[in-house]
Amino acid sequence: MTLSVEINKVKFPHPVFNAAGPKDVTLDELMVIGRSQSSAILMKSCTLEPRDGNPEPRYYEDEFGSINSMGLPNKGYQEYGKYTPILKATFKKPVIASVSGMKIEDNVKIIKFFSTIQELDMIELNLSCPNLPGKPQIGYDADASDKLIRSVKDVCSKPLGLKLPPYFDFVHFEQMAKVINKHTPDFVTCINSLGNGLIIDAMKEETVIKPKGGFGGIGGDYCKPTALANVRKFYELLNKDIAIIGCGGIKSGIDVFEFILAGASAVQIGTHYLKEGPSVFERCVKELEHMMKKKKYSSLDEFRGTLKVIE
Ligand SMILES: Cc1cc2nc3c(=O)[nH]c(=O)nc-3n(C[C@H](O)[C@H](O)[C@H](O)COP(=O)(O)O)c2cc1C
């Protein structure tokens, strides 16, 4: 049986790795991911300048998932440029930078810089980043996304992916798919957190996180059906040479199997990595293998995208 995956010549031994954000900010945290069975090391979304992020408490989890309003705490893009050769030499697996500049020019500058780092394998551009005041985040603005992707593609010499927010309306999927197909990135990652949810502590009659009046991005079980739907819809709408990476609520090998059935080439784990720690990657891979054996599949290609729809 082989679980290997290839996305624009970057080889992954199996399809399960960490999502951008959870515990991938410092070199120490990235070394933990390197030592785990995660098939790649995806670094924290970075900005031009280092950021401390929002005041705490800014992350909270319950039995169904998580809410966060971290405010992009990160070391600044140059630090991730320094970490990359160390991570690559030590662990010999794909190293991926996540870019989340505050404006187009920042993203262009950061991606230009990462293109010069020989040991870096891929770049994931986070489209869930702020746009102009009074405008939606870039991923919810097809024209702004078009402009941003065009600008960064011009300077990017690495395989490039787009981290997309969740979409809910078929017209929005079609508008975004049109933009993505025009620029043919190497992959898209579906989905970033469900935006601006609210979790309440009933006993305290209070929000569970401090920033933004308690509103925050939702991860974990809460978002799996939406993540599956986004993977499936983009699998139907995107050119077949654009790989889809699934993310949202993954915590078992059966979840991984479902995302691949829906059309994913690989998957990322965020909230459940925070809940369980680095053993989550190895466990999910073992459970996926078990499921494939049961189903008599010997590679991911045999069932990728083959989801049956009730007639
Ligand atoms: C604490 C935390 C920090 C996050 N930071 C980022 C980030 O910097 N960049 C990004 O693209 N997504 C970020 N995310 C979103 C995750 O990468 C992922 O898309 C989302 O949580 C859904 O996956 P999950 O259900 O496995 O958590 C963050 C999520 C969490 C929980």
Confidence of residue 226 (pLDDT cuts 50, 70, 90): very high
CA dist 80 to 47, 136, 193, 301, Å?
10, 28, 23, 33
| Ligand 1 atom with the shortest distance to the CA of 100 | 9
Q: Which residues line ligand 1 at a C-beta cut-off of 6 Å?
A: 19-22, 44-45, 59, 66, 68, 70, 72, 98, 126, 163, 192-193, 219-220, 223, 247-250, 269-272
Pairing relation of β-strands 41-46 and 95-99? parallel
Residue with tokens 């020989």: 118
Residues of the chain with pLDDT > 90, as a percent, come to 97
Closest residue to atom 4 of ligand 1, CA basis: 21
Closest residue to atom 26 of ligand 1, CA basis: 270
Residue with tokens 């794909």: 94
Q: What are the structure tokens assigned to 214, written together?
A: 């308690």
Confidence of residue 288 (pLDDT cuts 50, 70, 90): very high
Q: Within a 13 Å sphere around the CA of 163, how many CA atoms are in the beta-carbon half?
A: 28
Q: With contact defined as beta carbons under 8 Å apart, do 26 and 86 qualify? A: no
Closest residue to atom 6 of ligand 1, CA basis: 21
What CATH number has the domain spanning 5-53+72-196+221-302? 3.20.20.70
Name the residue among 287, 279, 173, 174 with its Cα closest to residue 230: 173
Q: With contact defined as beta carbons under 8 Å apart, do 19 and 259 qualify? A: no
Name the residue among 94, 118, 92, 91 with its Cα closest to residue 40: 94
For residue 269, report the distance from its CA to the centre of ligand 1, in Å. Answer: 9
CA dist 217 to 38, 192, 228, Å?
24, 8, 17
User: CB within 8 A of 212, min separation 6: which ones?
Assistant: 54, 69, 196
Active-site entry in 46, 129, 156, 223: 129
Confidence of residue 135 (pLDDT cuts 50, 70, 90): confident
Residue range 13-53, pLDDT digits in tens: 999 999 999 999 999 999 999 999 999 999 999 999 999 99
Q: Within a 13 Å sphere around the CA of 189, how many CA atoms are in the beta-carbon half?
A: 30
For residue 270, report the distance from its CA to the centre of ligand 1, in Å. Answer: 6
Residue range 197-205: average pLDDT? 98
Give residue limits of the domains in the chain: 5-53+72-196+221-302
Residue range 151-180: average pLDDT? 98
pLDDT at 133 over 80: no
Q: What is the mean pLDDT of the chain?
A: 97
Q: What are the structure tokens assigned to 267, written together?
A: 């998957």
SS (H, E, C) the chain: CCCCEEECCEEECCCEEECCCCCCCCHHHHHHHHHCCCCCEEEEEECCCCECCCCCCCEEEECCEEEECCCCCECCHHHHHHHHHHHHHHHCCCEEEEECCCCHHHHHHHHHHHHCCCCCCEEEEECCCCCCCCCCCHHHCHHHHHHHHHHHHHHCCCCEEEEECCCCCHHHHHHHHHHHHHHCCCEEEECCCEEEEECEECCCCEECCCHHHHEEEEEEHHHHHHHHHHHHHHHHHCCCCCEEEEECCCCCHHHHHHHHHHCCCEEEECHHHHHHCCHHHHHHHHHHHHHHHHHCCCCHHHCCCCCCCCC
The preferred substitution site among 26, 192, 222, 272 for testing ligand 1, maximizing ligand atoms within 8 Å of CB, is 192
pLDDT at 279 over 80: yes
For residue 14, report the distance from its CA to the centre of ligand 1, in Å. Answer: 21
Look at residue 4 in the predicted model and tell me its pLDDT.
98
Confidence of residue 168 (pLDDT cuts 50, 70, 90): very high
Look at residue 264 in the predicted model and tell me its pLDDT.
99
The preferred substitution site among 72, 189, 193 for testing ligand 1, maximizing ligand atoms within 8 Å of CB, is 193
For residue 263, report the distance from its CA to the centre of ligand 1, in Å. Answer: 21
Residues of the chain with pLDDT > 70, as a percent, come to 99
Q: How far apart are CA 208 and CA 285, in angstroms?
A: 33
Name the residue among 78, 79, 136 with its Cα closest to residue 109: 78
Residue range 137-161: average pLDDT? 97
pLDDT at 132 over 90: no
Residue range 78-100: average pLDDT? 98
Closest residue to atom 19 of ligand 1, CA basis: 192
Residue with tokens 């990652």: 189
Is 129 assigned a catalytic role?
Answer: yes
Look at residue 138 in the predicted model and tell me its pLDDT.
95
